[in-house]
């Protein structure tokens, strides 16, 4: 039939001459109608346009499944491929904290990765070159526990879990730059972790000293903190855990404390996280200085770092003070017996041990304090009577002589005296001079606080990055040469959880030759804390396959800093501090031009669900064990009333939700929209599928689909769209749609860019959906504004609900006789440009007509300046001062007033 009509129409055109554009439009419209009518879908069949070319009118369960099954494999954008990096283009690096491969995604994972996915898609639509990389924080204790309990090798267990979680990511439609994937337990990654360790060692920022560890006396093994229960017992043997001194490796993070504290002021607001970082670091007013210990005039091998709040007064030091709990009294020190013998509990004890200041060469006695604690985490202090009354009292009481080294001039200025080359300087000048001298000599001097401790990175574990150090009886501690990296983990097959580190059993690996003297030596058998692996991973993502160095400087300089870093608040102190430390260190090595690794930080809240506990035992019950039919939940078996609380989802608490099961029932887009809509990102979500949020996002998807159906049906009705056929009222309505579209574009864009308030963005898009639903049939058929607003709505929905948006766009794209030609209808919605506000909208009149309501009843309008129209205080005052305000509000008690965020309206609630 279509062919016959085409021939007849062509015959008419030939008789008339050249076919007019009007005739072409009529021909296309008529043929389009025939095509759509041939594709009408019987009510009983559920299909989608992308599969069959037939548009399904309603968006029910079956249609939703078909839409998501069709689009899921098709929208896995790889974003910026490594080969495509174009440094001339603006970039956006969105990074969500990579997971530990536990084997199963939970709703917390889904939340953080849905946020990063939505942001990445949005920024790509804005024309940015985007990376949204993903990897695995793959070393750690759970893999070793699995080896002990199930006989699985940590590598096999980890790889299996990674594979399973990759499949879960894919099933959720999460789009990552997978070709940048990194796995921290692979030698090609930890080779460079070891490289950075050696660079720290070269810089004198890595050192070894004795520190306390948790010791299981039954299994004769070191325990991690998480392996010690609340009663201080071993989780496996049940034995009471002891504290034992072992030699441990430390990174001197305190040497970067002041720089990292000061750099916080240059960062944007981090939702209170900057304050947490500042509090963790503390006030950097003092520093540590190194001392050599002597006994009977003979220098020992013991070296000690001691803290002072007043380094500028160091020439006035009278003694060194240590706590009774110091490792010199309890560890494996050669001076342990002397200190224990000369310590008198409860009294300041002057010992025969002296300490030589490596900066001033002054020799002062060591005192064991009567106190059990110093300020914060200090265990060693320099006593300087000139600046501390407490130190003066100790020195006088023990008969230790001291020299005054500060004086105050008549004008109030404090100067340093009796202090060698810094004599005559102001205290501030002397502070700078002393700290610089100490830093230059490598004996301390870095300003830090009394609460920040160096980072203990030793772990007596197998499944971690091997520390690239060799112990030689002749040469001492020897770093593994760079060319010998990586030091690969040996293939240990037996894991008992008892005795020494499993690495100790790999004798062929442990026993080696010294790189310097070639004599027999032993490898370090401690491995690194997993926080070291994650302290620099964001840099490796910029150049993940580089075999010659950790990353290419130019690529790191292009992609860094991370524009938006997303993760849980539990990592907002330690991980963030360590990551910032590594970034500062790499900057000092001239490996990167940026000191700070992260520009904006988004710390998402927890997802909580209800737990039901027996009041008698505190045991958590499964849902099927709880009777929820009455006014209060009770135990099904006993009828006992239960304690109900909202807690973080956990397998042990039986309150977790399986994302996969949820998707089967509700769909991927529903899960994504619920997570984004239920609360602002930084707030906790109280999970309840029956709340307004879940039905709300389900209804919204149905209403979006209905809008597409309305336009498709209107344009296939046989009537040609013609804006000239709209009457004055309809044109005014179209103008309001245009204004609302522009307002929503500006607000949603700001929500995405500024505060990432996805819940507010969805709310505004719902508002635009409602406006379009109110449009009359003539407006749907003839209005370019309706068509444009619907297309714009579809584009703005796409980053958050990509599957339904993609199908809607495909259906709209094939509508004939479009009135809007500026959209790229021939490409999918996720490849559209993010909409911009029309220039005309930005040139709105200088005044706005503000509707005034009193007790919800309209009483007139007041003109207010455009720039004041959204400022509550200004609008409130202008209305009160207006003629209308004087007439209706003067002398009345105003209980409250509300300014509408969407329309020019203010409502006063007054006392009658």
152-195 tens-digit pLDDT? 899 999 999 999 999 999 999 898 999 999 999 999 999 999 99
How high is the pLDDT of residue 844?
A: 62
Neighbours of 560 (CB within 10 A): 25
What DSSP string runs through 649-698?
--TTTT----HHHHHHHH-HHHHHHHHHHSS-TTS-EE--TTSSHHHHHH
**686-708: per-residue pLDDT in tens?**
887 667 788 899 999 999 999 99
**816-870: per-residue pLDDT in tens?**
889 988 999 999 999 999 999 998 887 766 778 899 999 988 888 898 888 788 8
Residue 199 predicted with pLDDT over 80: yes
Cα 375 to Cα 611: distance, rounded to the nearest angstrom: 41
Residue 315 predicted with pLDDT over 60: yes
Closest C-alpha to 606, from 110, 143, 158: 110
Residue 8 predicted with pLDDT over 70: no
**249-282: per-residue pLDDT in tens?**
999 999 999 999 999 999 987 878 999 999 999 9
pTM for this predicted structure: 0.86
Least confident window among 403-407, 805-809, 893-897, 898-902: 898-902
For 853, counting Cβ atoms within 10 Å of its Cβ (0-12 exposed, 13-18 middle, 19+ buried), the class is: middle
Residue 39 predicted with pLDDT over 70: no
Interval 375-394 mean pLDDT: 95
How high is the pLDDT of residue 378?
A: 94
Read off the tokens for 56: 């399904």
Closest C-alpha to 187, from 139, 153, 248: 139
Residue 437 predicted with pLDDT over 80: yes
Interval 658-685 mean pLDDT: 92
Residue 16 predicted with pLDDT over 60: no
Interval 37-59 mean pLDDT: 69
Residue 323 predicted with pLDDT over 50: yes
Distance of CA 191 to the CA centre of its chain: 26
**333-354: per-residue pLDDT in tens?**
999 999 999 999 999 999 999 9
- Residue 858: strand pairing partners: 853
How high is the mean pLDDT of the chain? 90
Least confident window among 207-221, 331-345, 782-796: 207-221
Interval 509-516 mean pLDDT: 97
How high is the pLDDT of residue 379?
A: 94
Closest C-alpha to 612, from 625, 600, 603: 625
Residue 43 predicted with pLDDT over 90: no
How high is the pLDDT of residue 652?
A: 74
Cα 816 to Cα 104: distance, rounded to the nearest angstrom: 47
Interval 68-72 mean pLDDT: 94
How high is the pLDDT of residue 595?
A: 97
**445-476: per-residue pLDDT in tens?**
999 999 999 999 998 889 999 999 999 999 99
Neighbours of 453 (CB within 10 A): 16
Residue 28: C-alpha distances to residues 18, 713, 815 (Å): 16, 16, 11
**802-819: per-residue pLDDT in tens?**
999 999 999 999 988 899
How high is the pLDDT of residue 81?
A: 81
Q: Quote the percentage of the chain above a pLDDT of 70.
A: 94
Neighbours of 85 (CB within 10 A): 17
Q: Buried (b) or exposed (e) across 415-438, using 16+ Cβ within 10 A?
A: bbbebeebeebebeebbbbbbebb
């Amino acid at each position: 039939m279509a062919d016959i009509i085409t021939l007849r129409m062509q015959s008419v055109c030939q008789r008339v001459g050249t076919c007019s554009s009007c005739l072409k439009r009529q021909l296309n419209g008529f043929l389009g109608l025939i095509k759509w009518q041939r594709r009408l879908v019987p009510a009983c069949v559920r299909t989608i346009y992308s599969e069959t070319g037939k548009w399904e009118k309603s968006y029910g369960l079956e249609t939703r499944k078909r839409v998501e099954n069709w689009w899921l494999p098709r929208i896995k954008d790889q974003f910026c491929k490594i080969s495509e990096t174009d440094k001339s283009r603006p970039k956006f690096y969105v990074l969500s904290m990579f997971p530990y491969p536990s084997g199963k995604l939970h709703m917390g994972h889904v939340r953080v990765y849905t946020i990063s996915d939505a942001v990445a898609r949005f920024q790509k639509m804005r024309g940015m070159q985007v990376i949204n990389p993903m990897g695995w924080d793959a070393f750690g204790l759970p893999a070793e526990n699995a080896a002990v309990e199930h006989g699985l090798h940590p590598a096999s267990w980890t790889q299996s879990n990674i594979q399973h979680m990759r499949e879960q990511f894919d099933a959720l439609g999460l789009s990552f730059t997978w070709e940048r994937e990194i796995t921290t337990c692979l030698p090609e990654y930890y080779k460079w972790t070891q490289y950075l360790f050696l660079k720290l060692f070269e810089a004198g920022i890595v050192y070894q000293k004795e520190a306390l560890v948790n010791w299981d006396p039954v299994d004769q093994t070191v325990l991690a903190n998480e392996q010690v229960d609340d009663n201080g017992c071993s989780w496996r043997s049940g034995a009471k855990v002891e504290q034992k001194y072992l030699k441990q490796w430390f990174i001197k993070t305190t040497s970067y404390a002041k720089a990292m504290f000061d750099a916080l002021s240059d960062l944007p607001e981090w939702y209170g996280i900057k304050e947490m970082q500042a509090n963790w670091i503390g006030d950097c007013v003092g520093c540590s200085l190194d001392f050599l210990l002597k006994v009977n005039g003979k220098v020992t091998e013991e070296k000690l770092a001691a803290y002072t709040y007043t380094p500028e007064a160091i020439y006035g030091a009278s003694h060194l003070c240590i706590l009774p709990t110091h490792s010199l009294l309890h560890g494996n020190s050669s001076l342990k017996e002397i200190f224990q013998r000369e310590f008198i509990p409860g009294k300041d004890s002057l010992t025969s041990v002296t300490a030589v200041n490596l900066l001033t060469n002054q020799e002062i006695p060591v005192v064991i304090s009567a106190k059990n604690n110093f300020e914060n985490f200090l265990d060693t202090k320099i006593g300087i009577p000139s600046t501390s009354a407490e130190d003066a009292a100790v020195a006088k009481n023990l008969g230790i002589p001291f020299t005054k080294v500060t004086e105050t001039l008549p004008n109030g200025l404090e100067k340093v005296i009796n202090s060698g080359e810094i004599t005559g300087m102001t205290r501030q000048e002397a502070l700078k001079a002393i700290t610089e001298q100490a830093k230059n000599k490598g004996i301390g001097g870095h300003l830090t606080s009394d609460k920040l401790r160096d980072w203990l990175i030793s772990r007596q574990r197998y499944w971690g990055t091997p520390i690239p150090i060799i112990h030689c009886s002749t040469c001492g501690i020897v770093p593994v040469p760079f060319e010998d990296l990586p030091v690969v983990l040996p293939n240990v097959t037996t894991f008992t959880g008892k005795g020494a580190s499993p690495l100790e059993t790999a004798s062929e690996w442990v026993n080696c030759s010294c790189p310097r003297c070639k004599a027999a030596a032993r490898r370090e058998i401690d491995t690194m804390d997993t926080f070291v692996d994650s302290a620099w991973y964001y840099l490796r993502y910029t150049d993940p396959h580089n075999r010659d160095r950790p990353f290419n400087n130019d690529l790191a300089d292009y992609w860094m800093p991370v524009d938006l870093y997303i993760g849980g608040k539990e990592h907002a102190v330690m991980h963030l501090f360590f990551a910032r430390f590594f970034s500062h260190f790499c900057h000092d090595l001239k490996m990167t031009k940026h000191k700070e690794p992260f520009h904006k930080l988004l710390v998402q809240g927890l997802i909580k669900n209800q737990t039901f506990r027996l009041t008698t035992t505190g045991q958590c019950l499964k849902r099927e064990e709880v009777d929820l039919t009455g006014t209060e939940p009770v135990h099904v078996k006993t009828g006992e009333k239960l304690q109900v609380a909202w807690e973080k989802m956990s397998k042990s608490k039986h309150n977790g939700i399986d994302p996969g099961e949820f998707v089967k029932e509700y769909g991927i887009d529903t899960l994504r929209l619920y997570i984004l809509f239920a609360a602002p990102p930084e707030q906790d979500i109280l999970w309840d599928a029956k709340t307004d949020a879940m039905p709300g996002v389900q209804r919204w998807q149905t209403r979006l689909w209905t809008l597409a159906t309305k336009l498709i049906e209107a344009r296939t009705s046989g009537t040609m769209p013609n804006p000239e056929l709209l009457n004055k009222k309809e044109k005014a309505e179209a103008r309001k749609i245009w204004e609302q579209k522009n307002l929503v574009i500006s607000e949603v864009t700001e929500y995405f860019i500024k505060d990432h308030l996805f819940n507010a963005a969805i709310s505004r898009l719902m508002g635009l959906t409602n406006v379009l639903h109110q449009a009359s049939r003539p407006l749907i058929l003839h209005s370019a504004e309706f068509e444009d607003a619907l297309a714009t709505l579809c584009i703005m929905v796409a980053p958050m609900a990509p599957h339904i948006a993609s199908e809607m766009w495909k259906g709209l794209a094939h509508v004939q006789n479009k009135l809007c030609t500026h959209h790229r209808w021939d490409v999918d919605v996720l490849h559209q440009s993010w909409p911009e506000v029309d220039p005309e909208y930005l040139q709105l009149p200088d005044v706005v007509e503000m509707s005034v309501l009193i007790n919800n009843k309209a009483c007139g309008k007041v003109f207010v300046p455009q720039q004041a129209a959204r400022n509550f205080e200004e609008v409130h005052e202008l209305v009160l001062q207006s003629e209308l305000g004087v007439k209706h509000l003067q002398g009345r008690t105003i209980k409250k007033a509300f300014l509408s965020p969407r329309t020019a309206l203010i409502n006063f609630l007054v006392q009658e």
